[in-house]
Amino acid sequence: MAKVLIIYDSVTGHTEAMAKAVAEGARTVKKVNVDLKKIGTPFPLTILDAADAIIIGSPSRYSHETEVVRYFLKAVADYNKAGRLKLEGKIGAVFGSYGWDGGWNIEMLENNLTELGMKIGGSTVLAVNAPTEKVLDACRQLGKTIADKIAK
C-alpha cells in the first residue's frame, strides 16, 4: 500500500495541530497508509525510504526552521548521499507556522526537499501562530492532494 509520512516539529503546539490536520486529510484517501512522526521522538531514518510521499512541517524560530528540523534534514541528506536512503523521485510538501516574519524560511524547506531529488506535489501551507479553521482546512487539503497522487 502507498505510504505518506508526515514529519514535523512543534514547540507550542501550533505546527502539531497542522500536522494532525494534514494526516486527517491524507487518511480520507483509501489505499494510503499514513504515518505521523514528531522529530525528536525515536524512529529509524529508513521510514523515509518506505514512504512514497513525505510532508514536513516546522515552526519559525529566529527566522529559521527549528534547530531539530535543521539537524534532522542534515542527517537525512547525509544518509541519502551515502546511498542509505533513496529519496529521489518521492513526492514532498511543506507546512509550518510563524509569528511575524512571513515564514519565508518554512517555504525554503521546499528547497531542502528538491535538493534531495524529491518533487514538490502541493502548495506550502502557512499559519500565523495558532492555525485558524481555514488554515486547518488547507492542511487537510494538502494531505489529501498528496495522498491522492500516490494512491495505488
Ligand X SMILES: Cc1cc2nc3c(=O)[nH]c(=O)nc-3n(C[C@H](O)[C@H](O)[C@H](O)COP(=O)(O)O)c2cc1C
Which residues would be at the binding site for ligand X (CB under 6 A)? 10-16, 59-63, 97-101, 129
For residue 101, the 8-state DSSP code is S
Tell me whether residue 143 is exposed, middle or buried, using C-beta atoms within 10 angstroms of its C-beta: 0 to 12, 13 to 18, 19 or more: buried
Q: Which is nearer to ligand X, 11 or 108 (CB)?
A: 11
Closest separation in Å from C-beta 65 to ligand X: 10
Closest separation in Å from C-beta 143 to ligand X: 17
Distance CA 28, CA 85 (A): 28
Q: Which is nearer to ligand X, 28 or 132 (CB)?
A: 132
Q: Which is nearer to ligand X, 135 or 150 (CB)?
A: 135
Q: For the chain, how big is the Rg over CA atoms in Å?
A: 14
Q: Which is nearer to ligand X, 12 or 132 (CB)?
A: 12
Closest separation in Å from C-beta 39 to ligand X: 12
Q: Which is nearer to ligand X, 80 or 124 (CB)?
A: 124
Q: Give DSSP secondary structure letters for 25-92.
A: HHTTSTTEEEEEEEBTB---THHHHH-SEEEEEEEEETTEE-HHHHHHHHHHHHHHHTTS---TT-EE
Distance CA 112, CA 133 (A): 28
Amino acid present at 51: A
Closest separation in Å from C-beta 67 to ligand X: 11
Closest separation in Å from C-beta 97 to ligand X: 3
